[in-house]
């Protein structure tokens, strides 16, 4: 099948399938740790890389390979390497491509564990990170050093949905001889394809929208064959491997990715508009709203505004907690990208490790609430939020 000829909805259902001798219709799950060789010569050829084929499930498994092929087709990447989690994928990107003494420029608005990884763990191994504004490309240029190797960004960001200009960042990175990595977790390839916008590397927490139903953890790194060779070598050697079971779950999750993202986005836009007109709400953060500071850029880069809506409630933490605690339907959890809507109070949970001053600088107010809009009826989600907002 020539993947180039098909639309993303078709690729999500049809690409990457490798059938066994039984010619099963649905993708099979291969639960085996190792594979048998016909003879000594074949074993030797496989280990030398002279003959393609399975060896050992730390780094080769047919179900994992099917997921990698499908996700690569969706992102328009030459190659995908799957991992046990999103964090393992980010670690492998750095371990596979960088060395001690090199420098990262990262958006200030990235996932909390990614900040911990860059600052506290990779920092101990002599990889330094400078944090800059997600919305000002010139800030990235100013942060460049002769040893800068990697730009790292999430767009839209969590929870304020700031949108970064991926094309502008890629131009600055390229000029400086650095790679641009985009954590595409919030959009998924159904809404945004960073490689087509100029990025060198795409990273996923497959735990979120790619599975989409809150079942398993997984991660992936995508890019050129050349870049992915280093990332794959790290996987093969260090072993943060995606299990065949999790790969199978995510592979089947991808089949419904486009229709899920459309539904999440439709409900999120309706919810955002409703919140914007609510007297108890100070401000709404959603890229699909014309009031969003990077609305035009978002609509160029993304198909829709996505499924995450944040809003600042009038009355600070007390009022925000009233909204959270008023919910009977929405789940109070920090997760996102699930069919079930979730509600989070960032300043006391996901962003509580920051000081109050850091939170103020990052724009994470005490009245801020984040909703990851699921697949329930949007009217029911509104009614759930209205209880606390109207109190
Ligand atoms: C959840 C998340 C991660 C980490 O992924 P895990 O699968 O939990 O390891 C990384 N980046 C973003 C934007 C996330 O939301």
What DSSP line would sit under 264-301, residue for residue?
A: HHHHHHHHHHHHHT-TTEEEEE-TTSTTSTTHHHHHHH
**Region 74-85: what's the mean pLDDT?**
98
Q: What's the CATH number for 258-389?
A: 3.90.1150.10
Residue 316's pLDDT is 96
Q: Is 183 in the pocket of ligand 1 (CB under 6 A)?
A: yes
Q: Is 87 in the pocket of ligand 1 (CB under 6 A)?
A: yes
Distance 220 CA to ligand 1 centre (A): 11
Distance 342 CA to ligand 1 centre (A): 15
Ligand 1, residues 94, 185, 187, 338: which to mutate, most atoms within 8 A of Cβ?
185
Distance 282 CA to ligand 1 centre (A): 28
Q: How far apart are CA 160 and CA 390, in angstroms?
A: 23
Structure tokens at 180: 């641009």
In 3D, which of 180, 143, 168 has the Cα closest to residue 301? 168
Residue 363's pLDDT is 87
Residue 179's pLDDT is 98
pLDDT classification of 139: cutoffs 50, 70, 90: very high
pTM: 0.97
Report the 10 Å Cβ neighbour count for 273: 15
Residue 262's pLDDT is 98
Q: Is the pLDDT of residue 87 over 90?
A: yes
**Interval 305-349: pLDDT, tens:** 999 999 999 999 999 999 999 999 999 998 999 999 999 999 999
Q: Is 208 in the pocket of ligand 1 (CB under 6 A)?
A: yes
Residue 92's pLDDT is 98
Distance 321 CA to ligand 1 centre (A): 25
**Beta bridge mates, 182:** 153, 202
Q: Is the pLDDT of residue 2 over 80?
A: no
**Region 152-176: what's the mean pLDDT?**
97
Q: Is 185 in the pocket of ligand 1 (CB under 6 A)?
A: yes
Q: Is 204 in the pocket of ligand 1 (CB under 6 A)?
A: no
Q: 3.40.50.300, 3.40.640.10, 3.40.50.2300, 1.10.645.10: which CATH number matches 3-30+61-254?
A: 3.40.640.10
Q: Is the pLDDT of residue 7 over 60?
A: yes
**Interval 15-61: pLDDT, tens:** 999 999 999 999 999 999 999 999 999 999 999 999 999 999 999 99
Q: Is the pLDDT of residue 391 over 90?
A: no
Residue 163's pLDDT is 98
Q: How far apart are CA 180 and CA 197, in angstroms?
A: 11
Ligand 1, residues 89, 111, 163: which to mutate, most atoms within 8 A of Cβ?
111
Structure tokens at 103: 């420098």
Say how far residue 314 (Cα) sits from the centre of its chain.
30
Ligand 1, residues 109, 112, 113: which to mutate, most atoms within 8 A of Cβ?
113
Looking from the CA of residue 337, the nearest atom of ligand 1 is: 15
Q: How far apart are CA 170 and CA 179, in angstroms?
A: 8
Domain ranges (residues) in the chain: 3-30+61-254, 258-389
**Region 162-168: what's the mean pLDDT?**
98
**Interval 196-206: pLDDT, tens:** 999 999 999 99
Residue 1's pLDDT is 52
Q: Is the pLDDT of residue 232 over 80?
A: yes
Strand 308-313 with 103-107, pairing? unpaired
Q: How many CA atoms lie less than 13 Å away from 314 in the CB half-sphere?
A: 10
Q: How far apart are CA 16 and CA 30, in angstroms?
A: 15
Mean pLDDT of the chain: 96
Q: Is 182 in the pocket of ligand 1 (CB under 6 A)?
A: no
**Interval 255-287: pLDDT, tens:** 999 999 999 999 999 999 999 999 999 999 999
């Amino acid at each position: 099948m020539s993947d180039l000829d098909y639309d993303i909805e078709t690729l999500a259902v049809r690409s990457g399938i490798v059938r066994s001798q039984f010619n099963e219709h649905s993708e099979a799950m291969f639960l085996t740790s190792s594979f048998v060789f016909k003879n000594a010569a074949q074993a030797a050829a496989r280990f030398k890389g002279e003959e393609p084929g399975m060896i050992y499930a730390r780094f080769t498994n047919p179900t994992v390979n099917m997921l990698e092929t499908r996700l690569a087709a969706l992102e328009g990447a030459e190659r995908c390497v799957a991992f046990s989690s999103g964090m393992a994928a980010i670690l492998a990107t750095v371990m596979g491509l960088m060395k001690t003494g090199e420098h990262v420029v990262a958006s200030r608005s990235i996932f909390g564990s990614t900040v911990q990884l860059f600052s506290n763990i990779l920092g101990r191994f002599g990889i330094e990170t400078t944090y800059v504004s997600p919305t000002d490309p010139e800030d990235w240029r100013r942060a460049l050093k002769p040893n800068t190797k990697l730009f790292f960004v999430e767009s839209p960001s969590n929870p304020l949905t700031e949108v970064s200009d991926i094309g502008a960042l890629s131009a600055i990175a390229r000029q400086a001889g650095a790679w641009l990595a985009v954590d595409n977790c919030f959009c998924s390839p159904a809404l945004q394809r960073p490689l087509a916008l100029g990025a060198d590397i795409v990273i996923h927490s497959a735990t979120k929208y790619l599975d989409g139903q809150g079942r398993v953890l997984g991660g992936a790194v995508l890019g050129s064959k050349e870049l992915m060779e280093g990332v794959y070598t790290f996987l093969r050697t260090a072993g943060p491997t995606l299990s065949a079971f999790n790969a199978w779950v995510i592979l089947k999750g991808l089949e419904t990715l486009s229709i899920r993202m459309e539904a999440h986005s439709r409900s999120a836009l309706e919810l955002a508009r409703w919140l914007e007109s609510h007297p108890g709400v100070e401000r709404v953060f959603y890229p699909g709203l014309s009031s969003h500071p990077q609305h035009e850029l978002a609509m160029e880069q993304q198909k829709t505004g996505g499924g995450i809506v944040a809003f600042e409630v009038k009355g600070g933490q007390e009022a925000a907690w009233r909204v959270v605690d008023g919910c009977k339907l929405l789940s109070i959890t920090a997760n996102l990208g699930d069919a079930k809507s979730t509600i989070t109070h960032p300043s006391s949970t996901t962003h509580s490790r920051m000081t109050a001053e850091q939170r103020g600088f990052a724009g994470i107010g005490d009245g801020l609430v984040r909703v990851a809009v699921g697949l329930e009826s949007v009217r029911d989600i509104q009614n759930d939020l209205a209880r606390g907002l109207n109190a």
